[in-house]
Structure 1
Amino acid sequence: MKEEDVNRCQIQEWYPKFKPVSIRTVIHELPESFVEYLVDDSGPFLLPLSISGEDALPNRIHNPIDEEDYQVSEGPGDESEQPPLPPSFPELELNIKESINTLGGAVFPKLNWSAPKDSAWISTSGTLRCTSFSEIALLLRSSDSLVHDLCHAYDSCIDKTLSRPPSFFLALRKWYSSFLPEMEFRCFVRGQQLAGISQREVTTFYPTLLEKKNDLELLIKEFFTENVRQKFESENYTFDVYVTKDGRAKILDFNPWGAFTLPLLFTWEELEQNLKEVENLVDFRIVESQCGIRPGLKTAVPQDYLDTGPGSGWDQFLRKADRELQQQKMAPGNGA
């Protein structure tokens, strides 16, 4: 891929063009001081000082004794080292607060390319739902996946000249409590041809998708032809789409072909082979049984917190799950 392909997938680039067929979003350009705050890991973990007095973790217990850990005595007559002061971004906070109100009081955040999905575990709700600047800052500052956006977005480009984009943006997207994960799909476009469609959430079997598969395929194919194909300039890319209860498709995201984009129920080789073998045939894949579920640790805690070494509880659990899966596949009536 080229840098221009990666750049087109930034939300501040594609959203204005696809706003009528996407979800409500307000985009803010981030000051460089806030970007530096996100990438700085040289000191203690500090949340910005809120001018509104908002707290991302309101139920935490404040223990003054813990603050003594930050004071280092250097001997008689020397003053103790003072803990660093938390940063403050008053203008950004006020702008974000206004946008949250505009979007109905709750949003989920996203940088140029990525959302901090890996840090949802730390929020009070266990999701990306945010109602304040402090909650947004907590998710962004806690996320490891956003390091990609901040430092490695162009690493897979054959014409790489940039180490990071000139500016970073924060997209605040309206939070919909009625969002159904089974109705989100990833679409793969190769040579401006729709090559495949995959269920986005592949760790769960949704029986309702079996009933709706043909209708969903037709709807998504028509949506691509009418709303995406002639408007998105790249030859190869993916886009995520959500199908509403009333049968409308909404674009959620664009991503480059290959590299850091997950192929989900496909492999990249399969997608390229599909186009070579049968032109204009779209392969639509969903999880069609419990046996088809792709493994995933849905624990709501970081991978680093899990002991998955030999003999650990998770190791035994995964081995048992693998044995049961193999037994199900070998049982009469499965694939025979």
Structure 2
Amino acid sequence: MSDAKDVFRVQNYYPQFAHCSLPATFAFLREPEISALVNGEYTGRNAESAIRRISEAMRPFRGRHFVSTDFAAPTDSPRFLSSKRGAVVSAQSAWYSLAGSAKIRALAAAGDVQCVCIRKFREFDVPREFRLFVKNGELVAMSQRFLTRHFRRLVRRQEDYWNVAKMFFEEIRSSLPVDTLAIDIYITCKRKVIVVDINPWGEPTDPLMFRDWNREVTEPLGCLLVPPPCMISGDVHVSF
């Protein structure tokens, strides 16, 4: 019997969204290889077997790659946290990134890793990454994906990006695996939308500028952005 969260495994939703996603291939792991991942093994028969499987799946793409598993990427691995931003150049470096991630090892231990997803690495312009919020089959909001700062140029494009998202949503509405979820997208300079990931509604998915998964929404909120920093003037006294 399948789990309700199985629809959010990348290998399950990708076929429906391949036309609007980055090209991807999949390396399905065997149980001994998953055990090697759980144990963080970089070498050994099972690790080497997994590396060969990943290498085969990498063949369609040249250059740098981006790897993830069913539900997540190894964003806590040293390679991801470095200036490489998760890019790997070989199956071995891909496996090292996965096995070096506490998050991926925990998912594997919980039975939530079946495969490795390989995509050609692409640099994204951070201000054009967004999360769409779909509730009961309706697009209710979109949020700036990374909340590290306020981008003034986003304010000028705020309404335009919201309109792009609405048009895109109408195109994919019938393909959604469930009617309440969150979709990570990237809007290119030519206003093309790329699906990056599909996530369940609620924790552990971050609500970002939507703030609260339980908030009541009576009408669409539009594109939600990090506000500009506040400036304090006058006679200001600070004490500690």
TM range (shorter): 0.7 to 0.9
Shift of 1:33: 1.5
Q: How does 1:50-129 map to 2 (within 5 A)?
A: 86-121=44-79, 125-129=83-87
Structure 1 counterpart SS, 2:88: coil
C-alpha RMSD over aligned residues = 2.3
By how many angstroms is 1:283 displaced?
Answer: 3.1
Rounded to whole Å, the distance in 2 between the matches of 1:127 and 1:253 is: 17
Q: Quickly say closer, same or farther: Cα 1:122–1:172, change in 2 above 3 A.
A: closer
Please, what TM-score do these two structures have when normalized by structure 2?
Answer: 0.87
Distance 1:100 1:204, change over 3 A: farther
Q: Structure 2: how far apart are the matches of 1:123 and 1:130?
A: 12
Q: Is the 8 A contact 2:26 2:116 kept in 1?
A: yes
Q: Work out the number of aligned pairs and report it.
A: 233
- Structure-2 residue corresponding to 1:222: 167
The structure carrying a bigger strand percent of its residues is: 2
Shift of 1:216: 0.5
Tell me, yes or no, if the aligned pair for 2:144 and 2:224 is still in contact at 8 Å. yes
Q: Which amino acid aligns with 2:191?
A: G
What is the CA–CA distance in structure 1 between the aligned matches of 2:8 and 2:131, rounded to whole Å?
A: 14
The verdict on how the C-alpha distance between 1:98 and 1:38 changes in structure 2, with shifts beyond 3 A counting, is: closer
Cross-structure match for 1:273: 216
Matched, 1:168 2:114: yes
**How far apart are the structure 2 equivalents of 1:98 and 1:3?**
29
**Contact 1:207–1:288 (CA under 8 A) maintained in structure 2:** no
CA distance in 1, matches of 2:161, 2:78: 29
TM-score (norm 1): 0.64
CA-CA distance at 1:122 after TM superposition: 6.7
Task: Identify the residue that residue 223 of structure 2 maps to in structure 1.
Answer: 284
Q: Which residue of 1 aligns with 2:238?
A: none
Matches within 5 A, 1:241-280: 241-269=185-213, 272-274=215-217, 277-278=218-219
SS in structure 2 opposite 1:150? helix
> What residue identity is the alignment partner of 2:31?
E
8 Å CA contact retained: 2:75, 2:81: no
In 1, Cα distance between the equivalents of 2:94 and 2:59? 14
Structure of larger gyration radius: 1
Call closer, same or farther: CA 1:230–1:122 in 2, change over 3 Å: closer
Take 1:212 and 1:114, find their aligned partners in 2: how far apart are those partners? 30
Gaps of 5+ in 2: 235-240
What per-residue deviation string (whole Å, max 9, x for no partner) do you get for residues 120-141 of structure 1?
4577744210011121111111
